[in-house]
Amino acid sequence: MEFEKSKKAFDEAKKYIPGGVNSPVRAFGSVDIAPIFIEKAKGSKIYDIDGNEYIDYICSWGPLILGHSNEKLVNGIEDEFKKGTSYGLPTQIETKMAKKIVDAYPSVEKVRMVNSGTEATMSALRLARAYTKKKKIIKFEGCYHGHSDGLLVKSGSGTLTYGIPTSPGVNSTVIEDTIVCEYNNIDSVKKAFQDSDDIAAVIVEPVAGNMGVVEAKKEFLEELRKVTKEYNSLLIFDEVITGFRLSYSGAQGIYDINPDLTCFGKIIGGGLPVGAYGGKAEIMDMIAPLGGVYQAGTLSGNPLAMYMGYNTLEILENNKDIYDDLQEKAKKLEKGLNEHIEKLNIDVTINRVKAMICIFMSQGPVDSYSQVMKSDTDKYAIFFKEMLKQGILLPPAQFEGLFLSTAHTDCDIEKTIDAAGEAFKVAFR
Protein backbone atom coordinates (compact mmCIF):
# COMPACT_ATOMS: atom_id res chain seq x y z
CA MET A 1 0.00 0.00 0.00
CA GLU A 2 1.38 3.42 -1.00
CA PHE A 3 0.70 6.54 1.08
CA GLU A 4 2.93 9.02 -0.79
CA LYS A 5 0.19 11.39 -1.94
CA SER A 6 -1.33 11.53 1.54
CA LYS A 7 2.08 12.26 3.06
CA LYS A 8 2.63 15.12 0.62
CA ALA A 9 -0.86 16.49 1.21
CA PHE A 10 -0.24 16.41 4.96
CA ASP A 11 3.05 18.31 4.61
CA GLU A 12 1.27 20.95 2.54
CA ALA A 13 -1.66 21.17 4.97
CA LYS A 14 0.68 21.65 7.93
CA LYS A 15 1.95 24.85 6.36
CA TYR A 16 -1.45 26.52 6.61
CA ILE A 17 -3.55 24.60 9.14
CA PRO A 18 -2.43 24.00 12.75
CA GLY A 19 -1.22 20.41 12.81
CA GLY A 20 -2.50 20.05 9.25
CA VAL A 21 -6.03 19.16 10.42
CA ASN A 22 -9.25 20.84 11.44
CA SER A 23 -9.91 18.47 14.35
CA PRO A 24 -7.10 16.88 16.37
CA VAL A 25 -7.79 13.12 16.15
CA ARG A 26 -7.62 13.34 12.35
CA ALA A 27 -3.85 13.89 12.65
CA PHE A 28 -3.28 10.19 13.54
CA GLY A 29 -0.93 11.53 16.26
CA SER A 30 -1.37 8.65 18.67
CA VAL A 31 -0.72 6.01 16.02
CA ASP A 32 2.37 7.87 14.88
CA ILE A 33 1.89 7.97 11.10
CA ALA A 34 0.76 10.65 8.67
CA PRO A 35 -3.03 10.67 8.25
CA ILE A 36 -4.62 9.41 5.08
CA PHE A 37 -6.28 12.12 2.99
CA ILE A 38 -9.65 11.16 1.60
CA GLU A 39 -10.81 11.34 -2.00
CA LYS A 40 -14.30 9.84 -1.75
CA ALA A 41 -16.45 7.26 -0.01
CA LYS A 42 -19.38 5.01 -0.79
CA GLY A 43 -21.31 2.65 1.47
CA SER A 44 -18.91 1.07 3.96
CA LYS A 45 -15.82 1.91 1.86
CA ILE A 46 -13.60 4.95 1.94
CA TYR A 47 -10.85 5.78 -0.59
CA ASP A 48 -7.73 7.83 0.02
CA ILE A 49 -5.96 10.02 -2.53
CA ASP A 50 -3.39 7.28 -3.17
CA GLY A 51 -6.23 5.10 -4.42
CA ASN A 52 -6.32 2.75 -1.40
CA GLU A 53 -9.68 1.30 -0.39
CA TYR A 54 -10.64 0.70 3.24
CA ILE A 55 -13.60 -0.68 5.15
CA ASP A 56 -14.44 2.39 7.21
CA TYR A 57 -15.17 2.11 10.95
CA ILE A 58 -14.84 5.86 11.54
CA CYS A 59 -17.88 6.77 9.45
CA SER A 60 -17.29 10.47 10.12
CA TRP A 61 -17.26 9.69 13.90
CA GLY A 62 -20.89 8.71 14.03
CA PRO A 63 -23.19 10.68 11.73
CA LEU A 64 -23.18 8.12 8.92
CA ILE A 65 -25.35 5.36 10.34
CA LEU A 66 -26.59 4.73 6.78
CA GLY A 67 -23.07 4.58 5.35
CA HIS A 68 -21.35 6.98 2.99
CA SER A 69 -23.22 8.71 0.16
CA ASN A 70 -26.45 6.87 0.79
CA GLU A 71 -28.28 7.11 -2.51
CA LYS A 72 -31.67 7.99 -1.07
CA LEU A 73 -30.14 10.98 0.70
CA VAL A 74 -27.67 12.09 -1.94
CA ASN A 75 -30.09 12.02 -4.86
CA GLY A 76 -32.63 14.22 -3.09
CA ILE A 77 -30.26 16.82 -1.75
CA GLU A 78 -29.28 17.97 -5.24
CA ASP A 79 -32.75 19.47 -5.74
CA GLU A 80 -32.68 21.06 -2.29
CA PHE A 81 -29.29 22.56 -3.04
CA LYS A 82 -30.60 24.17 -6.20
CA LYS A 83 -33.48 25.82 -4.30
CA GLY A 84 -31.09 27.63 -1.98
CA THR A 85 -28.49 26.90 0.67
CA SER A 86 -29.42 29.14 3.59
CA TYR A 87 -32.02 31.84 4.17
CA GLY A 88 -31.69 33.11 7.71
CA LEU A 89 -35.46 32.79 7.89
CA PRO A 90 -37.65 29.91 9.06
CA THR A 91 -38.35 26.92 6.82
CA GLN A 92 -40.96 24.21 7.26
CA ILE A 93 -38.44 21.41 7.31
CA GLU A 94 -37.15 22.76 10.65
CA THR A 95 -40.58 22.11 12.16
CA LYS A 96 -40.76 18.66 10.56
CA MET A 97 -37.33 17.88 11.97
CA ALA A 98 -38.24 19.11 15.46
CA LYS A 99 -41.45 17.05 15.40
CA LYS A 100 -39.50 13.93 14.43
CA ILE A 101 -37.22 14.33 17.44
CA VAL A 102 -40.11 15.16 19.79
CA ASP A 103 -42.05 12.13 18.58
CA ALA A 104 -39.08 9.82 19.15
CA TYR A 105 -38.06 11.13 22.61
CA PRO A 106 -40.87 11.37 25.18
CA SER A 107 -38.65 13.53 27.42
CA VAL A 108 -38.33 16.14 24.68
CA GLU A 109 -41.29 18.47 24.21
CA LYS A 110 -39.44 21.22 22.35
CA VAL A 111 -36.10 21.26 20.59
CA ARG A 112 -33.72 23.95 19.30
CA MET A 113 -31.36 23.23 16.41
CA VAL A 114 -27.75 24.38 16.55
CA ASN A 115 -24.66 23.61 14.43
CA SER A 116 -22.67 21.12 16.49
CA GLY A 117 -22.73 18.89 19.54
CA THR A 118 -20.48 21.40 21.28
CA GLU A 119 -23.07 24.12 20.86
CA ALA A 120 -25.83 21.79 22.03
CA THR A 121 -24.16 20.91 25.35
CA MET A 122 -22.91 24.45 25.95
CA SER A 123 -26.39 25.88 25.38
CA ALA A 124 -28.09 23.19 27.46
CA LEU A 125 -25.88 24.07 30.41
CA ARG A 126 -26.58 27.78 30.07
CA LEU A 127 -30.27 26.97 30.09
CA ALA A 128 -29.93 24.66 33.09
CA ARG A 129 -28.16 27.38 35.05
CA ALA A 130 -30.82 29.92 34.16
CA TYR A 131 -33.66 27.53 35.04
CA THR A 132 -32.27 26.38 38.39
CA LYS A 133 -30.59 29.71 39.25
CA LYS A 134 -27.56 27.67 40.28
CA LYS A 135 -23.95 27.90 39.12
CA LYS A 136 -22.13 24.59 39.15
CA ILE A 137 -22.34 21.53 36.96
CA ILE A 138 -21.24 17.93 37.35
CA LYS A 139 -19.56 16.08 34.53
CA PHE A 140 -17.75 12.74 34.51
CA GLU A 141 -14.10 11.92 34.02
CA GLY A 142 -13.54 10.58 30.49
CA CYS A 143 -16.83 11.90 29.11
CA TYR A 144 -16.49 14.35 26.24
CA HIS A 145 -19.18 16.91 25.56
CA GLY A 146 -17.45 19.08 22.98
CA HIS A 147 -14.91 21.82 23.52
CA SER A 148 -16.71 24.63 25.33
CA ASP A 149 -14.66 25.90 28.28
CA GLY A 150 -16.71 24.61 31.19
CA LEU A 151 -16.87 21.12 29.72
CA LEU A 152 -13.25 20.83 28.70
CA VAL A 153 -12.29 19.52 32.11
CA LYS A 154 -11.01 15.96 32.54
CA SER A 155 -12.53 15.29 29.19
CA GLY A 156 -12.40 12.30 26.82
CA SER A 157 -11.92 11.61 23.09
CA GLY A 158 -9.07 13.57 21.46
CA THR A 159 -8.22 15.24 24.76
CA LEU A 160 -7.36 11.83 26.23
CA THR A 161 -5.54 10.83 23.07
CA TYR A 162 -3.36 13.93 23.27
CA GLY A 163 -3.04 13.87 27.07
CA ILE A 164 -4.69 17.27 27.54
CA PRO A 165 -7.94 16.45 29.31
CA THR A 166 -8.09 19.99 30.70
CA SER A 167 -7.02 22.57 28.18
CA PRO A 168 -4.72 25.53 28.75
CA GLY A 169 -6.76 28.66 28.09
CA VAL A 170 -9.67 27.45 30.17
CA ASN A 171 -9.82 29.90 33.08
CA SER A 172 -9.60 28.53 36.60
CA THR A 173 -12.76 30.50 37.41
CA VAL A 174 -14.61 28.41 34.83
CA ILE A 175 -13.18 25.16 36.15
CA GLU A 176 -14.29 26.10 39.66
CA ASP A 177 -17.88 25.67 38.54
CA THR A 178 -17.29 22.25 36.99
CA ILE A 179 -17.28 19.35 39.43
CA VAL A 180 -15.80 16.17 38.02
CA CYS A 181 -17.18 12.87 39.30
CA GLU A 182 -16.39 9.25 38.54
CA TYR A 183 -18.41 7.50 35.84
CA ASN A 184 -20.48 4.61 37.22
CA ASN A 185 -19.77 5.78 40.78
CA ILE A 186 -22.94 7.25 42.26
CA ASP A 187 -21.32 7.88 45.62
CA SER A 188 -19.01 10.44 44.02
CA VAL A 189 -22.12 12.26 42.76
CA LYS A 190 -23.99 12.06 46.05
CA LYS A 191 -20.97 13.47 47.84
CA ALA A 192 -20.80 16.40 45.42
CA PHE A 193 -24.46 17.21 46.11
CA GLN A 194 -23.90 16.94 49.85
CA ASP A 195 -20.98 19.37 49.56
CA SER A 196 -22.78 21.96 47.42
CA ASP A 197 -26.35 23.22 47.07
CA ASP A 198 -25.38 25.19 43.98
CA ILE A 199 -25.39 22.42 41.31
CA ALA A 200 -27.49 23.33 38.27
CA ALA A 201 -27.09 20.09 36.32
CA VAL A 202 -25.44 16.74 35.86
CA ILE A 203 -24.40 16.07 32.27
CA VAL A 204 -23.60 12.51 31.26
CA GLU A 205 -23.03 10.35 28.21
CA PRO A 206 -25.55 7.59 29.00
CA VAL A 207 -23.20 5.17 27.28
CA ALA A 208 -19.70 6.63 27.27
CA GLY A 209 -18.33 6.73 23.74
CA ASN A 210 -15.33 8.97 24.27
CA MET A 211 -13.14 6.81 26.50
CA GLY A 212 -13.66 3.89 24.23
CA VAL A 213 -17.09 2.40 24.86
CA VAL A 214 -18.07 2.06 28.52
CA GLU A 215 -21.58 1.10 29.51
CA ALA A 216 -23.27 3.05 32.27
CA LYS A 217 -24.81 0.71 34.81
CA LYS A 218 -28.59 1.06 34.79
CA GLU A 219 -28.69 1.71 38.53
CA PHE A 220 -26.12 4.48 38.09
CA LEU A 221 -28.34 6.31 35.61
CA GLU A 222 -31.44 5.66 37.73
CA GLU A 223 -29.71 7.06 40.78
CA LEU A 224 -28.59 10.10 38.78
CA ARG A 225 -32.23 10.71 37.94
CA LYS A 226 -33.22 10.40 41.61
CA VAL A 227 -30.47 12.51 43.08
CA THR A 228 -30.87 15.37 40.59
CA LYS A 229 -34.60 15.50 41.36
CA GLU A 230 -33.97 15.43 45.08
CA TYR A 231 -31.62 18.43 44.86
CA ASN A 232 -33.65 20.40 42.26
CA SER A 233 -30.93 20.03 39.71
CA LEU A 234 -31.35 19.02 36.05
CA LEU A 235 -30.24 15.77 34.45
CA ILE A 236 -28.82 16.27 30.96
CA PHE A 237 -28.24 13.28 28.70
CA ASP A 238 -25.61 13.94 26.07
CA GLU A 239 -26.91 11.69 23.32
CA VAL A 240 -24.75 13.23 20.60
CA ILE A 241 -23.39 9.74 19.87
CA THR A 242 -26.11 7.50 21.30
CA GLY A 243 -29.11 9.44 19.95
CA PHE A 244 -30.76 7.47 17.12
CA ARG A 245 -27.78 5.06 17.24
CA LEU A 246 -28.31 2.89 20.27
CA SER A 247 -32.00 2.74 19.38
CA TYR A 248 -34.36 5.09 17.58
CA SER A 249 -35.13 6.62 20.98
CA GLY A 250 -31.48 6.62 22.00
CA ALA A 251 -30.08 5.48 25.31
CA GLN A 252 -33.00 6.94 27.24
CA GLY A 253 -35.37 4.64 25.37
CA ILE A 254 -33.29 1.62 26.33
CA TYR A 255 -32.68 2.57 29.95
CA ASP A 256 -36.18 3.99 30.29
CA ILE A 257 -35.04 7.20 31.95
CA ASN A 258 -36.42 10.66 31.24
CA PRO A 259 -33.71 13.31 31.49
CA ASP A 260 -34.70 16.98 31.76
CA LEU A 261 -32.65 17.98 28.74
CA THR A 262 -31.11 15.97 25.90
CA CYS A 263 -28.33 16.96 23.52
CA PHE A 264 -28.15 15.61 19.99
CA GLY A 265 -25.75 15.84 17.04
CA LYS A 266 -24.10 13.56 14.48
CA ILE A 267 -26.89 11.30 13.08
CA ILE A 268 -29.51 14.07 13.09
CA GLY A 269 -27.47 15.92 10.47
CA GLY A 270 -26.93 12.88 8.24
CA GLY A 271 -23.34 14.03 7.63
CA LEU A 272 -23.89 17.78 7.52
CA PRO A 273 -23.05 20.06 10.47
CA VAL A 274 -25.75 19.93 13.13
CA GLY A 275 -26.61 19.73 16.79
CA ALA A 276 -29.75 20.17 18.88
CA TYR A 277 -30.90 20.35 22.46
CA GLY A 278 -34.36 19.74 23.77
CA GLY A 279 -36.44 18.96 26.80
CA LYS A 280 -39.50 19.94 28.75
CA ALA A 281 -41.39 22.91 27.27
CA GLU A 282 -41.32 24.69 30.60
CA ILE A 283 -37.51 24.74 30.47
CA MET A 284 -37.09 25.22 26.71
CA ASP A 285 -39.45 28.22 26.68
CA MET A 286 -36.88 30.15 28.68
CA ILE A 287 -34.79 30.45 25.50
CA ALA A 288 -34.95 33.67 23.44
CA PRO A 289 -37.17 34.90 21.84
CA LEU A 290 -39.66 33.60 24.43
CA GLY A 291 -37.34 33.95 27.39
CA GLY A 292 -34.15 35.68 28.36
CA VAL A 293 -31.64 32.87 27.79
CA TYR A 294 -29.83 33.97 24.66
CA GLN A 295 -28.74 31.46 22.06
CA ALA A 296 -28.67 32.02 18.30
CA GLY A 297 -27.01 30.87 15.07
CA THR A 298 -26.61 32.23 11.53
CA LEU A 299 -26.77 28.73 10.05
CA SER A 300 -28.89 27.02 12.73
CA GLY A 301 -31.54 24.79 11.18
CA ASN A 302 -29.75 25.04 7.85
CA PRO A 303 -32.11 23.63 5.19
CA LEU A 304 -29.54 21.26 3.69
CA ALA A 305 -28.55 19.86 7.09
CA MET A 306 -32.25 19.54 7.94
CA TYR A 307 -32.88 17.70 4.69
CA MET A 308 -30.10 15.18 5.35
CA GLY A 309 -31.05 14.77 9.00
CA TYR A 310 -34.79 14.52 8.47
CA ASN A 311 -34.45 11.93 5.73
CA THR A 312 -31.95 9.92 7.75
CA LEU A 313 -34.43 9.80 10.62
CA GLU A 314 -37.25 8.96 8.22
CA ILE A 315 -35.31 5.90 6.99
CA LEU A 316 -34.42 4.83 10.54
CA GLU A 317 -38.00 5.28 11.74
CA ASN A 318 -39.47 3.23 8.92
CA ASN A 319 -36.90 0.44 9.15
CA LYS A 320 -36.56 -0.23 12.85
CA ASP A 321 -35.00 -3.65 12.16
CA ILE A 322 -31.92 -1.60 11.23
CA TYR A 323 -31.08 -1.54 14.93
CA ASP A 324 -31.25 -5.32 15.30
CA ASP A 325 -29.19 -5.74 12.14
CA LEU A 326 -26.54 -3.32 13.36
CA GLN A 327 -26.40 -5.11 16.68
CA GLU A 328 -26.05 -8.48 14.95
CA LYS A 329 -23.10 -7.17 12.96
CA ALA A 330 -21.47 -5.80 16.09
CA LYS A 331 -22.05 -9.13 17.85
CA LYS A 332 -20.50 -11.02 14.96
CA LEU A 333 -17.46 -8.74 15.09
CA GLU A 334 -17.24 -9.11 18.87
CA LYS A 335 -17.43 -12.91 18.62
CA GLY A 336 -14.80 -13.13 15.89
CA LEU A 337 -12.41 -10.84 17.77
CA ASN A 338 -12.93 -12.72 21.01
CA GLU A 339 -12.09 -16.02 19.29
CA HIS A 340 -8.71 -14.58 18.27
CA ILE A 341 -8.16 -13.13 21.73
CA GLU A 342 -8.83 -16.49 23.37
CA LYS A 343 -6.74 -18.44 20.91
CA LEU A 344 -3.78 -16.06 21.18
CA ASN A 345 -4.31 -15.69 24.93
CA ILE A 346 -3.73 -11.92 24.85
CA ASP A 347 -4.89 -9.09 27.11
CA VAL A 348 -7.53 -7.52 24.92
CA THR A 349 -11.08 -6.66 25.95
CA ILE A 350 -13.98 -6.01 23.63
CA ASN A 351 -16.65 -3.74 25.08
CA ARG A 352 -19.96 -3.70 23.25
CA VAL A 353 -23.25 -1.98 23.98
CA LYS A 354 -25.80 -2.75 21.24
CA ALA A 355 -23.89 -1.73 18.09
CA MET A 356 -21.35 0.45 19.88
CA ILE A 357 -18.10 -1.49 20.12
CA CYS A 358 -14.53 -0.85 21.15
CA ILE A 359 -11.24 -2.76 21.37
CA PHE A 360 -9.23 -2.16 24.57
CA MET A 361 -5.65 -3.39 24.70
CA SER A 362 -5.92 -4.50 28.32
CA GLN A 363 -7.45 -7.13 30.53
CA GLY A 364 -11.11 -6.58 31.38
CA PRO A 365 -13.49 -5.75 32.74
CA VAL A 366 -13.19 -2.17 31.47
CA ASP A 367 -16.06 -0.41 33.22
CA SER A 368 -14.48 2.75 34.60
CA TYR A 369 -12.21 5.57 33.56
CA SER A 370 -9.33 4.16 35.61
CA GLN A 371 -9.68 0.79 33.85
CA VAL A 372 -9.80 2.55 30.47
CA MET A 373 -6.53 4.29 31.24
CA LYS A 374 -4.77 0.94 31.75
CA SER A 375 -5.11 0.18 28.07
CA ASP A 376 -1.86 -0.18 26.17
CA THR A 377 -1.98 2.63 23.60
CA ASP A 378 1.32 1.53 21.99
CA LYS A 379 -0.16 -1.87 21.23
CA TYR A 380 -3.30 -0.19 19.88
CA ALA A 381 -1.10 1.89 17.55
CA ILE A 382 0.58 -1.23 16.15
CA PHE A 383 -2.77 -2.96 15.80
CA PHE A 384 -4.25 0.07 14.02
CA LYS A 385 -1.37 0.22 11.51
CA GLU A 386 -1.55 -3.50 10.78
CA MET A 387 -5.28 -3.21 10.17
CA LEU A 388 -4.79 -0.19 7.92
CA LYS A 389 -2.30 -2.12 5.79
CA GLN A 390 -4.98 -4.76 5.32
CA GLY A 391 -7.58 -2.22 4.22
CA ILE A 392 -9.43 -1.78 7.52
CA LEU A 393 -9.75 1.77 8.83
CA LEU A 394 -10.27 1.83 12.60
CA PRO A 395 -10.44 4.97 14.73
CA PRO A 396 -6.82 6.17 14.97
CA ALA A 397 -7.02 6.35 18.75
CA GLN A 398 -7.60 3.91 21.59
CA PHE A 399 -10.23 6.09 23.25
CA GLU A 400 -12.79 6.02 20.44
CA GLY A 401 -15.37 3.43 19.54
CA LEU A 402 -15.87 1.84 16.12
CA PHE A 403 -18.83 3.13 14.15
CA LEU A 404 -20.87 0.63 12.19
CA SER A 405 -23.37 1.52 9.49
CA THR A 406 -26.17 -0.24 7.63
CA ALA A 407 -23.78 -0.36 4.66
CA HIS A 408 -21.34 -2.70 6.44
CA THR A 409 -21.86 -6.19 5.04
CA ASP A 410 -21.26 -9.58 6.61
CA CYS A 411 -18.35 -9.88 4.21
CA ASP A 412 -16.88 -6.62 5.60
CA ILE A 413 -17.14 -7.99 9.11
CA GLU A 414 -15.52 -11.30 8.12
CA LYS A 415 -12.64 -9.49 6.39
CA THR A 416 -12.20 -7.34 9.50
CA ILE A 417 -12.08 -10.39 11.77
CA ASP A 418 -9.53 -12.11 9.51
CA ALA A 419 -7.36 -9.01 9.40
CA ALA A 420 -7.56 -8.64 13.18
CA GLY A 421 -6.14 -12.15 13.66
CA GLU A 422 -2.96 -11.08 11.86
CA ALA A 423 -2.85 -7.63 13.47
CA PHE A 424 -3.18 -9.03 17.01
CA LYS A 425 -0.28 -11.39 16.32
CA VAL A 426 1.96 -8.48 15.30
CA ALA A 427 0.84 -6.22 18.18
CA PHE A 428 1.48 -8.95 20.77
CA ARG A 429 4.63 -10.40 19.26
Q: Which stretch binds ligand PLP (CB under 6 A): 27-35, 36-44, 65-73, 112-120?
A: 112-120
Let me know: does 401 contact 213? Beta carbons within 8 Å: yes
Question: Binding of ligand PLP at residue 215 (CB under 6 A)?
Answer: no
Instruction: Name which of 117 and 301 has its Cβ closer to ligand PLP.
Output: 117
Question: Binding of ligand PLP at residue 205 (CB under 6 A)?
Answer: yes
For 246, other C-beta atoms within 10 Å of its C-beta total: 25
Question: Binding of ligand PLP at residue 388 (CB under 6 A)?
Answer: no
According to DSSP, the β-strands at 392-393 and 53-56 are parallel
Report in angstroms how near the CB of residue 28 gets to ligand PLP at its nearest: 17
Q: How far is CA 214 from CA 44, 51, 137, 289, 301, in A?
A: 25, 35, 22, 39, 32
Residue 42 is a catalytic residue: no
Q: How far is CA 113 from CA 152, 320, 356, 406, in A?
A: 22, 24, 25, 26
Instruction: Name which of 209 and 212 has its Cβ closer to ligand PLP.
Output: 209
Of the candidates 57, 105, 144, 231, the residue annotated as catalytic is 144
Of the candidates 238, 323, 354, 385, the residue annotated as catalytic is 238
Instruction: Name which of 26 and 145 has its Cβ closer to ligand PLP.
Output: 145
What's CA 113's distance to the chain center, in Å?
A: 17
Of the candidates 100, 134, 154, 266, the residue annotated as catalytic is 266
Let me know: does 220 contact 245? Beta carbons within 8 Å: no
Q: In the range 265-284, which residues lie near ligand PLP by CB under 6 A?
A: 265, 275
Instruction: Name which of 6 and 242 has its Cβ closer to ligand PLP.
Output: 242
Q: Which stretch binds ligand PLP (CB under 6 A): 47-55, 187-195, 233-241, 253-261?
A: 233-241
**Would you say how long the chain is, in residues?**
429
CB-closest chain residue to ligand PLP: 117
Question: Binding of ligand PLP at residue 155 (CB under 6 A)?
Answer: no
Residue 144 is a catalytic residue: yes
- CA gap 293, 311 in Å, rounded: 31
Question: Binding of ligand PLP at residue 145 (CB under 6 A)?
Answer: yes
Let me know: does 168 contact 153? Beta carbons within 8 Å: no
Instruction: Name which of 29 and 209 has its Cβ closer to ligand PLP.
Output: 209
Report in angstroms how near the CB of residue 234 gets to ligand PLP at its nearest: 17
Let me know: does 333 contact 417? Beta carbons within 8 Å: yes
Contacts of 257 (CB under 8 A, 6+ apart): 206, 221, 222, 225, 235, 237
Question: Binding of ligand PLP at residue 121 (CB under 6 A)?
Answer: yes
Residue 369 is a catalytic residue: no
Instruction: Name which of 126 and 379 has its Cβ closer to ligand PLP.
Output: 126
Element containing residue 74 per DSSP (H, E): helix 71-83
| Helix locations, 133-249, DSSP H | 158-161, 172-176, 186-195, 218-230
Binding site for ligand PLP (CB under 6 A): 61, 116-118, 121, 144-146, 157, 205, 209-210, 238, 240-241, 265, 275
- Residues belonging to the active site: 144, 238, 266
